[in-house]
Amino acid sequence: MPARLVVLISGSGTNLQALLDAARSDQYPAKVVAVGADRRDAAGLIRAEKVGIPTFVVEPGDFADRAAWDAELAAEIQRFDADWVVSAGFMRILGPAVLSQHPHRIVNTHPALLPSFPGAHAVRDALAYGVTVTGCTVHLVDDGVDTGPVLAQQVVMVEQSDTEEVLHERIKAVERDLLVGVMQQLCSHDVEVIGREVVIS
């Protein structure tokens, strides 16, 4: 049985699309069972709707406080019986309700080589710092901001002419394959987390 992925997005959803494309193959050990967003206008929701995958939206502004938002997001994810939750361009910090419901089973993809440049503006921050190499990181989510155990990283060279948009697109081209590959590994093996070490056997 393929593993059940719930994918969380905030924007265009090209990483989601890469997972949807990969999961079209019977050989891929996972399928996307639902897509959640923190904003109704997240363009990536249409990618899921096009292929008949259920979507849900949990907008923080609709809730009295962060705890209520977190509880509702956890409840929505719970409905889909997820084996793994994938934060693929989801621009929110997950709260304790979601984290405790899926211990060591939430994956995030980030457009920088962590621990450098965590947070919401990683590509901008890397350019502003003047690095000559950057990249992307796929990691497990813990209760910090982009601090969980690293699963895989890939390097991308910075060009002198790069703008934030151009560099981010080049990172995303690498990131999509990295995420698809990591999910394939995780969903076809036993996964044990010992401190910062992720043992895949």
Residue 187, SS3 per DSSP: helix
Q: Taking CB under 6 A as the rule, does residue 172 contact ligand GAR? A: yes
State the maximum Cα–Cα separation within the chain, in Å, rounded to a whole number.
47
168: annotated active-site residue? no
Q: Which residue is nearest to ligand GAR (CB)?
A: 89
Candidates 6-14, 31-39, 53-61, 192-200; binding stretch for ligand GAR (CB under 6 A) = 6-14
How far apart, in Å, are the Cα atoms of 83 and each of 29, 77, 100, 117, 139?
12, 10, 14, 29, 16
Minimum distance of ligand GAR from residue 88's CB (angstroms): 5
C-beta of 11 vs 149, nearer to ligand GAR: 11
Residue of 3, 7, 14, 98 that binds ligand GAR (CB under 6 A): 14
Task: Look up residue 8 and give its two tokens.
Answer: 């969380």
Residues contacting ligand GAR: total by CB under 6 A? 17
Looking at the DSSP bridge assignments, the partners of residue 64 are none
CA-nearest of 8, 45, 3, 50 to 28 is: 3
C-beta of 26 vs 186, nearer to ligand GAR: 186
Strand arrangement, sheet containing 150-157: 55-57, 30-37, 3-9, 84-87, 106-110, 133-140, 150-157
Q: Taking CB under 6 A as the rule, does residue 19 contact ligand GAR? A: no
Q: Taking CB under 6 A as the rule, does residue 110 contact ligand GAR? A: yes
Contact 4, 81 (CB under 8 A): yes
Q: Taking CB under 6 A as the rule, does residue 38 contact ligand GAR? A: no
Candidates 28-36, 72-80, 87-95, 184-192; binding stretch for ligand GAR (CB under 6 A) = 87-95
Q: Taking CB under 6 A as the rule, does residue 120 contact ligand GAR? A: yes
Distance CA 25, CA 157 (A): 31
Binding site for ligand GAR (CB under 6 A): 9, 11-15, 44, 88-89, 91, 109-111, 120, 122, 172, 175
Residues designated as active site: 110
